[in-house]
Amino acid sequence: MILERLFFILFAVVAIAAAGGVVCFKNPVHSAFSLIVCLLQVAAIFVLLRSPFLAVVQIFIYVGAVMVLFLFVVLVLDIKKASLETFPGLKRWPVYVILPVMAIEFLIVIFGKSFAHMQMAEAGAETTVEVIGLALFTHYLLPFEIISVLLLAAMVGAIIMAKKRWN
């Protein structure tokens, strides 16, 4: 158990550091790679939480597909210009007010015994892919099939939006 906790701390610290890197790096490509590191750590945390399927989803969708999209966007945009430009003269003080408030709020939620009454999953029990598959294809069948229509609509939308520009 102690080892598991140590690994959690390792992954969490690296994830937060990488997330900080995403914001701080000037070069968007560096930010994107930092994001990959962050997402990989989150995938590792999912493994620690005994849901390997979510870890696979994380790597498959985010590290795989979404990062490709990010990098293509970086290509399509003008990198040099985008990296030089800072945000227009926005007032930054609201950020410094809102962020601590939100942080305190979430800490209260987490340590306020919000989840105390909940039945914890059995220690070491794994949410296997079978369990997810069974739920997906029986109880959650309707949302699953709607997702296919949703993906189709998104595909049509993406093609329409970009159409004239490359015709």
Q: How far is the CB of 36 from other proteins (least distance, A)?
A: 12
Provide, rounded to whole angstroms, the least separation between the CB of residue 17 and other proteins.
14
Q: How far is the CB of 119 from other proteins (least distance, A)?
A: 8
Type of residue at 22: V
> What is d(CA 68, CA 128) in angstroms, rounded to the nearest whole number?
28
Nearer to other proteins, 20 or 60 (CB): 60
Identity of the residue numbered 99: L
∠ Cα 82 26 70 (to 5°): 65
- Residue closer to other proteins by CB (options 24, 162) is 162
* Residue placing its CB nearer to other proteins in the complex, 10 or 16: 10
Smaller CB distance to other proteins: residue 22 or 71? 71
58, 42 Cβ separation under 8 angstroms:
yes
What contacts 167, CB < 8 A, 6 or more positions away?
none
Rounded to an integer, what distance in angstroms lies between the CA atom of residue 44 and that of residue 39? 9
Minimum gap (Å) between residue 84 Cβ and other proteins = 12
